[in-house]
Amino acid sequence: MKRIRQSDGLLKNLTSLAEALGVSPVFVKRMKWAGFPMPGGRSTVPWALAWLKEHPDFKQSDWTRPRRDAGHPAALGAGK
């Protein structure tokens, strides 16, 4: 990741957040799949850095697909 100004508290979409963090948009998408909250599809750089600090074992290779929650229609067998 590139060096980031901690004072950047502006809400950013997935693409802008990835650019600010110096990572690919796929990395941020997989953070979301791993539980990183982006209410309204927006987050801030400090929130992302705090989440990464709280999840030091996060690897995007562990999250190649979104998780399926028990209440999610696909997890319940809908569409078969």
For 41-64, how does the pLDDT look when each residue is reduced to its tens digit (9 = 90+)? 999 999 999 999 999 999 988 888
Q: What percent of the chain has pLDDT over 70?
A: 74
H-run or E-run covering 16: helix 14-21
Per-residue confidence (pLDDT) for residue 45, from 0 to 100:
94
pLDDT-flagged residues of the chain (< 70): 1-8, 69-80
Instruction: Identify the residue whose tokens are 């599809």.
Output: 41
Per-residue confidence (pLDDT) for residue 12, from 0 to 100:
95
26-49 exposure pattern, b = at least 16 Cβ within 10 A, e = fewer: ebbbbbeebebebeeeebbbebbe
